[in-house]
Structure 1
Amino acid sequence: MFVDARVERGWNTQEDFAAAYEDKARELHEQARISVRQVRRWESGESTWPNRDARRVLEAMFDCSMENLGFYRPVRRNRQYSGENGQQLEEHMHRRTFLGLVGAVPVLDLTMLDHLTAAHRARRRSKGDLLGDLRTALDETARADGLDGPHEALPTALGIVSAINFTARTAKEDLRRELLALGARGAELVAWLYRDAGAPAQAVAYWHHQAKEWATLSGDGAMHAYTLLRQAQATDRTQAARMLDLARAATTGPWTLPPRPRAEALQQEARALAITGASTDQVARVLDQAYAALAEAAPPSGPATCTGPLGGSYTRERLMVQSAICYREAGQNKRAVRLFGEHLATDAFAPRDRAFFTAQYSGALVAAGEVDEAAAAALESLTLAAGARFGQALAELHRTAADLVPYTQRPAVRDFRQRLSELALT
């Protein structure tokens, strides 16, 4: 939220914003000094509630509340909570924060600390051992996300990225370049996990920015473009023009995306076009370009991994279900239902992806008038998403629940909406 609001008002860099802040503070006779580091803390979610003077300046600059910029008020402990009860309350609030219900940076756990400690031992290890261990850790963390959700994977991912950052500071140039290239992969993974965990938008944006910075410093133009694609995917449907610009930038900038991520970026462009009201023919033409790009891809040499070839997990089945999403956005619901029905029947998707695509399927079924089938699909998705709290799937299920309001007299619809409500309370 903060980053989007800053850029919308013409402050394209953190340095631009810091200068504008100081000008406004002097105008208001408030404390005028602010560092780029402080701006970065606001954008990453590390600083969750500015002080009184800063709040006055920020509200004057943006003409909106702190909450609309992604900040949240600190929870004040009631005086009746003291001693053991007070500690239990504080621990409860930490758990809520960690689960993404508040959206702050999660606390360190032992696994994360272990990775951070490994950074201090890095100088005694060979270059190959260090990079190999970090790659393995990132790949395992990404796999854990697909199975168990972002709340399990996020602390470890943060620890790995911290270890990379720490080690790169003092590494020789050739090793530093490789560490930063790996760090770009890790930062993009962290952005994905934060998004799925329901973190504030500025935290997601911060890690996308970090991924692009490290990709640029390491000379990895394709990774920079891939991060633009991921930013497009993280953009809310209400900002379709921004989604479209990001997706197009991924394929038209001064870089070359490999065929698989290029196909994915073209598909995202088609979805953005559909949301903006483009004709079905125009959406189909861009999807045809995506199919052609994927046809150029070499067969995978092994299982897709986080640190392997970019877009290694992007298969024909994934493109087809995402094409169904595009047609759903374009109002071609029967066509979307047919594609979902054909391609979700395979075993090509991890639990997280199956939960999300099935949630999308349920929404298309509602729009196509197949209400009971929609409720059944929504329940299937909810069963997959509930335990691991797959955030994007749950968000789509809430969208389906809203679409099903006119049909609450139907038993299957009532059952789904009740179970979704019960999950929201746990």
Structure 2
Amino acid sequence: MGGQITGHLGSGKAIRWQTGQGAGYGEGLEPGVPMPEPAVGNVRFVAARTRRGWHTQEDFVEAYDAAAQAMGERARVSVRQVRRWESGESTWPNRDARRVLQALFGCPLDSLGFVRSRCPAGRSGTELAAQLEAAEGVRRRTFFGGVLFGSAPLFDLAALEHLTAAARDARRYSDHELVAHLRAALDDAARADGLTGPHHALPATLGILSAIDGTAREARPDVRHALLRLGARGAELAAFLHRDAGAPAPATAYWHHQAKEWATVTSDGAMHAYVLLRQAQATERPESARMLDLAHAATRGPWTLPPRPRAEALQQEARALALTGAPVDDVTRTLDRAHAALDQADPVSETATCTGPLGENYTRERLMVQRAICYREAGQPERAVALFQQHLTPQFGTRDRAFFTAHLAGALVAAGDPDEAANAGLCSLALASDARFGQALAELRRTDAALRPYLRLPSVRELNDRLNELAAA
């Protein structure tokens, strides 16, 4: 049996959602029968609740239900269930409640005073946890399946409000306005990422995708087509944000798959190829053969990439060739093909956006610094350093400067200049630390590992200390 409940998120604005019964749905009080307040046995939970501003059990139920809705969970809790948690009668929440509680508090349940149940005879705690985790993965085959799991601490109540805002606001627009509204919102989310990092942009992006997925189900065919084409762009952005935020690899893979599905059903072959390129870029260095296959497929499949993303895909293919140990002449020839493709492109727009032409911001300067990365991977660090120093200019945004400067630091180490490498690393860290640009920080950790033999140098020790401090924070 389903009904409608009105709840609130941080803004104080009412939202409505459909409810349904399921595991963990708390029982309600019988009319006219008051429930006595039990003695508090789980003081950690009560303290954590009140620190976050949920001063009554009713306040917490309201916040819990709003978070559950935002996460796609059907189960809700009642005041009675909260009383049980706080009295210590309920030792370990069920799996639905665990996900929501971890999202709300951003910490392990053990630190909230919950006690794990004893394992059934014949199974160790590790074995049982593995089996429960596997069952959880099978169960979460929903629109957000596998996405929030493992990365829930990215979200607090303010973030959850952003996540649901797009879906709530979408109802205000007519079919003709809706696509434009969501496109503008997606562009805003991408700009926010460039300024403040993926942790701030991710909830808004997921909210937009939720709105697209929900409204497309009932939209006219032409509107549905436009929504899903936009959805492919948004899903690709979500994959990028998840990777940069350090979410588990399956989350990034999920959104790449969703982007390709929507690109395929809307006959957007160029977008399908572009996602293959993005998959190649998200592939880790040890999997260079897979990186090469994906980049190769992006330029040679049954589709045609526009000149700018085609140049980017060829550059990625050159990097993969370098990583697989191909001769440097092969790397250079592939990079020259990338430059030839870029020469065929139309002039760059002054207002490049996430939803504009594919690869709209791929410029010659960007290709030149990525050429430097390819030479670094090909074992020619001096050549890489020269290109970085010539083409890594302030025209790049903060994220890009942090990432490319981290690569410059790595090339300087390989070229035998550890002091300059550490100084470049410190510059990159200053750009990346506040916004937590994950890919730049990953490159800095790689550079830091290469600098270990030079820890006697003050600059190297400082970089190592600051990276350790950031990791601890």
Residue matched to 2:172:
121
Report if aligned partners of 1:119, 1:166 keep a CA contact under 8 Å in 2.
no
Matched, 1:135 2:183: yes
Q: Which amino acid aligns with 1:328?
A: R
**Distance of 1:106 and 1:372 partners within structure 2:** 35
Matched, 1:402 2:449: yes
Picking from 290, 294, 299, the partner of 1:242 is 290
Q: Which amino acid aligns with 2:172?
A: R
Mapping of 1:39-188 within 5 angstroms? Answer: 81-85=44-48, 94-95=105-106, 102-104=150-152, 106-107=154-155, 109-122=160-173, 125-127=174-176, 129-188=177-236
Q: Which amino acid aligns with 2:46?
A: G
Q: Which amino acid aligns with 2:384?
A: A
Classify 1:143/1:397 alpha carbon distance in 2 versus 1 (closer, same or farther; 3 Å): same
Classify 1:375/1:106 alpha carbon distance in 2 versus 1 (closer, same or farther; 3 Å): closer
**Distance of 2:150 and 2:211 partners within structure 1:** 26
Q: Secondary structure at the match of 1:176?
A: helix
CA shift for structure 1 position 274 = 0.3
**Distance of 1:96 and 1:152 partners within structure 2:** 19
CA shift for structure 1 position 113 = 1.7
Q: Which amino acid aligns with 1:83?
A: V
**Distance of 1:80 and 1:380 partners within structure 2:** 45
Mapping of 1:15-414 within 5 angstroms? Answer: 81-85=44-48, 94-95=105-106, 102-104=150-152, 106-107=154-155, 109-122=160-173, 125-127=174-176, 129-344=177-392, 346-414=393-461
Residue matched to 2:14:
none
Q: Show CA shifts across 1:155-193 (max 9, x none).
A: 000001111111110111111111100000000000000
- Pick the structure with more helix per residue: 1
Q: Show CA shifts across 1:243-301 (max 9, x none).
A: 00000000000000000000000000000000000010000000000000001101023
Report if aligned partners of 2:239, 2:252 keep a CA contact under 8 Å in 1.
yes
CA shift for structure 1 position 102 = 5.0
Q: Which amino acid aligns with 1:82?
A: F
Q: Show CA shifts across 1:51-77 (max 9, x none).
A: xxxxxxxxxxxxxxxxxxxxxxxxxxx
Residue matched to 1:423:
470
**Distance of 2:382 and 2:253 partners within structure 1:** 35
Report if aligned partners of 1:187, 1:211 keep a CA contact under 8 Å in 2.
yes
**Distance of 2:103 and 2:316 partners within structure 1:** 39
Output the TM-score relative to the length of structure 1.
Answer: 0.77
Structure 1: stretches of 5+ with no match in the other structure: 1-77
Classify 1:96/1:240 alpha carbon distance in 2 versus 1 (closer, same or farther; 3 Å): farther
Classify 1:260/1:425 alpha carbon distance in 2 versus 1 (closer, same or farther; 3 Å): same
Classify 1:342/1:142 alpha carbon distance in 2 versus 1 (closer, same or farther; 3 Å): same
Q: Secondary structure at the match of 1:382?
A: helix
Q: Show CA shifts across 1:287-322 (max 9, x none).
A: 000000001101023321100000001001110111
CA shift for structure 1 position 120 = 3.1
Q: Show CA shifts across 1:42-98 (max 9, x none).
A: xxxxxxxxxxxxxxxxxxxxxxxxxxxxxxxxxxxx96733214776967984469x
**Distance of 1:156 and 1:332 partners within structure 2:** 41
**Distance of 1:293 and 1:87 partners within structure 2:** 59
Classify 1:158/1:328 alpha carbon distance in 2 versus 1 (closer, same or farther; 3 Å): same
**Distance of 1:278 and 1:134 partners within structure 2:** 44
**Count of aligned pairs:** 343
Instruction: Give the fraction of aligned pairs with identical amino acids, expressed as a percent.
Output: 62
Q: Secondary structure at the match of 2:462?
A: helix
Structure 2: stretches of 5+ with no match in the other structure: 1-40, 53-100, 109-147
Classify 1:140/1:224 alpha carbon distance in 2 versus 1 (closer, same or farther; 3 Å): same
More relative contact order in 1 or in 2 (CA 8 Å, sep 6+)? 1
